[in-house]
Structures are given as C-alpha cells and as structure tokens.
Amino acid sequence: MMKQKEIPFSIPFINEREIKEVVKVLRGKWITTGSEVKRFEESVREYLDVSTAVAVSSGTAAMEIALAVNGVGPGDEVLTTSYTFASTVIVILHRGADVVLVDVEDRTFNIDAEKIEREIKENYEMTGSGLISRKSKKRLKGIIAVHFGGQSADMKLINGIAEKYNLFVVEDAAHAIGSVHHGIKTGKSRNFVCFSFYSNKNLTTGEGGMIVTDKNENEQKLRMYSLHGISKSAIERYKNGLPFYDIVFPGYKANLTDIQAALGVIQMEKLERITELRNRVANWYNHYFKDVEEISTPFIKEYNSSARHLYPILISPSLRQRRDDFIVDMRSKNIYPSVHFIPVHFHSFYKNFVNLDGKIHLPVTEDLFSREISLPIFPGIKKSEVKYIVDVIKDSIVRFR
C-alpha cells in the first residue's frame, strides 16, 4: 500500500471570499464588536428562524452565560454527561454549582433520557423548593444536553422530563449547527442553545460561539453578561450621545469581534453546502466499511439529520485492547485521527476537585471511550483518501486479530 501525503483530522472550508471580508474589516475603522457581529447574528437568526442570537467569544462562554442567566450558583446541581469535552462540566463548576453525571446511549453517544429520569427518581425528592438531592441536600436546577458529533440528543424526551420536574435545559450544540431533529433545525428552541465556532467546527470564526433561543425576553441580559454586565456596547457608547454607561452586574468579557464575525458571515452562506459535503464524506466511509464486521459506523436515528461534525467508529470489543495501536498505525501512515472524548470523570481535575470519593461508574461511557476513534472528516477530503484510510484500518484489523 503506497503511503499517502498527510491527511489531517480537519481542515476549515475557507477560501478567498472569507479572506476578502476579513481584510475589508481590517482596513476599516472598527474591528471589535460592531456591524459585522450584527450581520453575523442576523444571518444565524434568519437561518434558524429564532428571535434571539447573541455572538460570544466561544462555545464555552455561551454555556456559562446561559447558566448565569438561568440563575445557577452555589447550592445548585446541574445534570449532564461525561461523554463530552470538559468545558461542558467546567462551566457548571465556574458558576459554583455541583455536577451530576449520567450515562449515554450506546449507539449515539448522546445523553440517555431514560437515565436522566432514573437518576431523578432514585436520588431526588420533589419539594416546594424544587428537586432536592437526598444525599447532598442541594437543588437540581437544570440539564445540559450535549449533541454529540452533529446529531441531536432526544430533545422531545429531555424537554418533557425538564417540564415535568421544573428544570431548565441548556443545549450544548457545539457540534450541531446544520443538523435537524424531528424536521426542525437544531437551535430553534426555547432553551438556550449554544454553538461553537472553533477552528475545527463545521462553521468557524477561528474562535467564537453563539447563544440562540426563541425566548427574546432574555436577549438584553445575554448581551450584558457577554460584556462585563455593561449597559451599553462599545459601538453604542462611541456613536450615540454621551460616552457614559453603568455596570449593572458583574458579567464576563466574552464578546466576538467584527474580524471574526466577517469570517462567520461568509461561512453561514456556505453552511448548507458544508453540511452536504460532510454527509457525502460520511457516506463514502459507510460504503467502504459496509462489510467490515470489526467496525461499527455512526448510527443516526431516523428522525435526525446529522451535521456530521465527527465520524466516530467503534472497534469490536475483541479488539478494544488494540485501540491505541490502530491510532499509532494510522499516524505512521500519515493519517491523523482523534478520540472523542476522554470522559470528564477520567480527568485529574474531576478526580481531585469534584469526585473526591471516587465512586462513579458510567459503563456505557467507559466502554465507548475504550473503542472509539474519530476519523478525518472535512469538506475537502478526497474519496481516494477516505478509501486509503479504510484500507489502512482493514490491514490493521488483519494484523491485530
């Protein structure tokens, strides 16, 4: 097998149009939050048909602001999954609240709604103050549902549970812009839905994020939390009347710049094409893996359309001890896969600062992590490169059996 040139995990889908827009901003008079951010927000708002879209500096900032507006603080608990990037949990800790982890579904990697309900029934009691933990005596206030790999979690069930127990829901949609759930675009919701525009995301602004919701009564508060809790934005102070302002509450410094937003405006115009191309790549992988019994390809529920941010494969349980060897093998042949995700409860910060007694076991999460490999997927990857990746994996299977 002839060695290919390097195949990276991801390459952003950027061309001269984005470059021209960014240069145009750099040559102008205003480069921080201003008219380009407004254009970007409007394009996302129109695409999703939502009332509110607030651009921020990252998906992490979006989630922390969403928790702040929902009033999360000391004495509260928030339930989420361990099968996510650590920021999903870290934002809860930053708000002074405690984390409750539940397991995921075994085929989608998404938080398991049935296990959310079981956790509540077994460990909480409904009181006049809400759901109170029998163990910690703290209040369960909300749920962060993560949409893994580009596929929405089961929001009908999760929203139903939240309504039943008077909990808020924040959606970690870092992977999911461009996805569809029960015929509705992910993001069109009365929950706070938090997107990431990090460099390897389907839509990128280099760094960046956005909070979207159909609850427009929260827009002003979201904006103020993104910029110190200040009553006027920089451009409002510059253009409209006297340059005075008030800081109403201690917010964050999490605004997006016009430089980044200019990139985002053009990326939004290309989003449907990006999603189409990523699904084409996923279909190539599906075709080449169709007769490989040792590999499970991504499972997409019939009512979901995935944005295909990731292409996560699972090696068979009989080969789980060789998962890292598969990765080493691919890297030796110029293929650069990844792993999504190292479970949060495996990290030192969680063991040392959160789970001090060490009593946590999430069997599905731990099994998936031991067998998962995320293969390169991006719009510009060639069909011949996908075939090469699959051929390398097939060769490794023969040697590792």
Same domain, 257 and 287: no
CA 211 to chain centre: 12
Q: Is 369 among the domain residues?
A: yes
pLDDT in tens, 204-228: 999 999 999 998 889 999 999 999 9
Q: Is 9 among the domain residues?
A: no
Listed residues 243, 270, 297: the one ending a domain:
270
Same domain, 279 and 203: no
Confidence of residue 352 (pLDDT cuts 50, 70, 90): confident
pLDDT in tens, 167-212: 999 999 999 999 999 999 999 999 999 999 999 999 999 999 999 9
The confidence score (pLDDT) of residue 238 equals: 60
Confidence of residue 235 (pLDDT cuts 50, 70, 90): low
Instruction: Give me the mean pLDDT over the 264-290 stretch.
Output: 98
Q: How many secondary structure helices (H) and strands (E) does the chain include?
A: 14, 15
Same domain, 322 and 368: yes
Q: Is 69 among the domain residues?
A: yes
* DSSP secondary structure string for all residues of 157-208: HHHHHHHHHT-EEEEE-TT-TT-EETTEETT-SSSEEEEE--TTSSS--SS-
Same domain, 335 and 374: yes
Q: Is 4 among the domain residues?
A: no
Listed residues 238, 270, 302: the one ending a domain:
270
Same domain, 83 and 225: yes
pLDDT in tens, 49-77: 999 999 999 999 999 999 999 999 999 99
Comparing C-alpha atoms, which of 223, 208, 206, 141 is closest to residue 174? 208
Residue 234, pLDDT above cutoff 70:
no
Same domain, 259 and 111: yes
Q: Is 53 among the domain residues?
A: yes
Same domain, 247 and 369: no
Same domain, 266 and 282: no
Least confident piece of the model among 135-144, 219-228, 349-358:
349-358
Largest CA distance in the chain: 74
Range of the domain at 25: 16-270
Instruction: Give me the mean pLDDT over the 286-314 stretch.
Output: 98
Residue 233, pLDDT above cutoff 90:
no
Beta strands in 175-324, from DSSP E residues, in sequence order: 180-181, 184-185, 192-196, 209-213, 295-296, 304-305, 312-315
Structure tokens at 54: 């607030």
Look at the chain and report how many structural domains it folds into.
2
CATH number reported for the structural domain that contains residue 260 in this entry: 3.40.640.10
Same domain, 246 and 318: no
Q: Is 258 among the domain residues?
A: yes
Least confident piece of the model among 129-143, 177-191, 226-240, 247-261:
226-240
Listed residues 242, 270, 298: the one ending a domain:
270
Same domain, 223 and 295: no
| Cβ–Cβ under 8 Å, residues 319 and 294 | yes
Same domain, 195 and 307: no
Q: Is 336 among the domain residues?
A: yes
Same domain, 292 and 232: no
CATH number reported for the structural domain that contains residue 379 in this entry: 3.90.1150.10
Q: Is 10 among the domain residues?
A: no
Determine phi and psi for 251, rounding to 5 degrees: -90, -160
Interior CA angle at 145 toward 143 and 151, to 5°?
A: 170
Strand (E) or helix (H) holding 281: helix 271-289
Cα 280 to Cα 387: distance, rounded to the nearest angstrom: 13
